Chains A and B, each alone.
Chain A
Amino acid sequence: GAVVSQHPSRVICKSGTSVKIECRSLDFQATTMFWYRQFPKQSLMLMATSNEGSKATYEQGVEKDKFLINHASLTLSTLTVTSAHPEDSSFYICSAWTGASTYGYTFGSGTRLTVV
């Protein structure tokens, strides 16, 4: 139980285009979704926290107009990278709290974005 399904797992896009990444909670309701970015051989950095039905909270230094987060329902949160550039190439991963009696935080499997 407590699975977060993240799609796509890999995406290659041209510079200047937009890419949408979806995270779905399959068997629980995620009122909050956390979005992280991981550069090669580095740690995970929190980009933003999304709450169902309200605006996302972005971490300092993260461009909210570039990384659009929508959390329209209790089972779906999306991250759209707008006007992507090669420096946006990274591993993006989402996470949700599933309760103290389970894993605590459940992570999606991640999306490898390559902008060419």
Chain B
Amino acid sequence: AQSVTQLDSQVPVFEEAPVELRCNYSSSVSVYLFWYVQYPNQGLQLLLKYLSGSTLVKGINGFEAEFNKSQTSFHLRKPSVHISDTAEYFCAVSDGGNEKLTFGTGTRLTIIP
């Protein structure tokens, strides 16, 4: 069975500082990995995904993530955050295409001016 662990429920960061949101997963098979952002009272927006190939994945809004199979991690990073990055971030995993997604518990990123 799959599971996703987001160790940090809340992360406060000063504006223009770098940030890393941690995600670890467990799965018995090859995985597809995703990061989504959710703004208040809105749906999910895809930040980036890893399906195969290069382990460093670049997404929208300056975010990137690195797939580390040995550490079963898929941490999200941004070198310089903005106020507009304040939101809830979810890591998710699936066993493959058209399979169910399992979400982590989410990390609330708060940017401090």
Contacts and interface: CB of A to CB of B under 8 A. Distances in A.
A43 B104 contact: yes
A45 B99 CA distance: 14
Interface in B53-87: none
Interface of B: 32, 34, 41-44, 46, 49, 51, 90, 94, 97-106
Chain A at the B interface: mostly helix, strand, loop or mixed?
Answer: strand
A34 B100 contact: yes
Interface of A: 31-32, 34, 42-46, 49, 93, 95, 97, 99-100, 103-105, 107-110, 112
B33 to A, nearest CB: 10
B44 A93 contact: yes
A102 B51 CA distance: 11
Contacts of A93: 43-44
Contacts of A31: 98
Contact of A44 (B41, B49, B97, B103): B103
